[in-house]
Amino acid sequence: MTDPDANPIWHPGDPADPSLPLPILPGHVSPGRFERVLRAGLFAVTTELAPPDSADPADVLARARVFDGVIDAINATDGSGANCHMSSLGVCAILTRAGYSPILQVSCRDRNRIAIQGDILGAAALGVCSMLCLSGDDVSVGDHPEAKPVFDLDSISLLGTARVLRDEQRFLSGRRLDGAPRLFLGASINPFAPPAEARVFQLAKKIAAGAQFVQSQYCFDLVMARDFLSRARDMGLLERCFVIMGVGVLASAKTAKWLKSAIPGVHIPDETIRRLEQAEKPRAEGRKIAVELIQQLAEMPGVSGVHVMAYKQEDYVGEIVAASGVLGDRRPWSPAQHCEQRTCA
């Protein structure tokens, strides 16, 4: 895109410095580009960054750079799998300084409501515009099983807390804030885990609590996804929330079987596993499956984007998104493009 007028994300009031906050557009809650992409009706592509086991900011930027030009927002995970890594707030602070749009993942496992509210204010002050509220994996599955699980809040009361801070400009205690955190609020959904009949009500509860977008667990079963979305549409939920479906990149049939058995809540149909087993080049087949899933999800009514989770295969995300063609001629914002011209989305 060379014509700024043709770019629905760019706004004439936007500052030239990518680390400065953008103006909040009418009808928006955050100054972030991620909210702009979704509200402009564009198909969004997000991914997750595996935080480094290091204190070097260069390690974070190197991991972000592989997504340049294909990703609208980067989820910074918060001790995912209950394993210790650099904090999501630290990762986000580094990413916002470079101009990226990170999504701060906040889990309820490690911090109580005092710490979480402080972190939300800190994150917004550091330029974070989007936040994903999670319950979190239990400590028993991670590398510090002897740790004390906190779970003072759950994902739904966390959403409510963030909304109180933002919309009522106060702490849960009632004490007033001098400045509210302008955050676009999200939650996770897993339409593929039991109890199937409760999952759509769980989405409804998250929306009622404040979720404006949701990102799903790995979607390998399009029939289940379609069924879930049609029930959500019947309940009028899709007009109130952007649904971003999770897409996984499987390296082999062995990885798929491991994911299915070791990570509760991951549902992979036998047909997908068979396809990987029969493939001559399983890694390439795994990427092909991801491309096909992205294309089919993009066609599905009610899907506003995809969340590509390619753990240890991050280098292929660009290739997979490009092959899917879902971005059309749109090039999401990246620091390199920003230097060339101010017209990228």
Interacting residues with other proteins (CB under 8 A): 108-109, 113, 135-138, 140-141, 149, 151-157, 160, 188-190, 193-195, 197-198, 201-202, 204-205, 208-209, 217, 263-265, 267
- State the DSSP H helix or E strand holding residue 261, giving kind and residue range, or none if neither: helix 253-262
Nearest 10 degrees: Cα torsion 57, 63, 64, 70: 170
Cα separation, 9 vs 177, in Å, equals 30
Cβ proximity to other proteins: between 84 and 198 the closer is 198
At closest approach, how far in Å is the CB of 307 from other proteins? Answer: 13
Cβ proximity to other proteins: between 206 and 275 the closer is 206
At closest approach, how far in Å is the CB of 154 from other proteins? Answer: 4
Cβ proximity to other proteins: between 153 and 306 the closer is 153
- Take residue 320 and report the two structure tokens written for it: 């997979």
At closest approach, how far in Å is the CB of 45 from other proteins? Answer: 21
Cα separation, 52 vs 90, in Å, equals 11
Cβ proximity to other proteins: between 122 and 149 the closer is 149
At closest approach, how far in Å is the CB of 138 from other proteins? Answer: 4
At closest approach, how far in Å is the CB of 252 from other proteins? Answer: 21
At closest approach, how far in Å is the CB of 257 from other proteins? Answer: 13
Using the structure block, give the residue that is written with the tokens 């798929």. 256
SS3 94: helix
Cβ proximity to other proteins: between 188 and 272 the closer is 188
Cα separation, 308 vs 43, in Å, equals 13
Cα separation, 146 vs 143, in Å, equals 9
At closest approach, how far in Å is the CB of 209 from other proteins? Answer: 6
Cβ proximity to other proteins: between 140 and 341 the closer is 140
Cβ proximity to other proteins: between 109 and 166 the closer is 109
Cβ proximity to other proteins: between 136 and 248 the closer is 136
3-state secondary structure 217-251: EECCCHHHHHHHHHHHHHCCCCCCCEEEEEEECCC
Cα separation, 249 vs 319, in Å, equals 12
At closest approach, how far in Å is the CB of 136 from other proteins? Answer: 7
Q: Show Cβ contacts of residue 218 under 8 Å, excluding neighbours closer than 6 positions.
A: 192, 246, 247, 248, 259, 266, 267, 268, 309
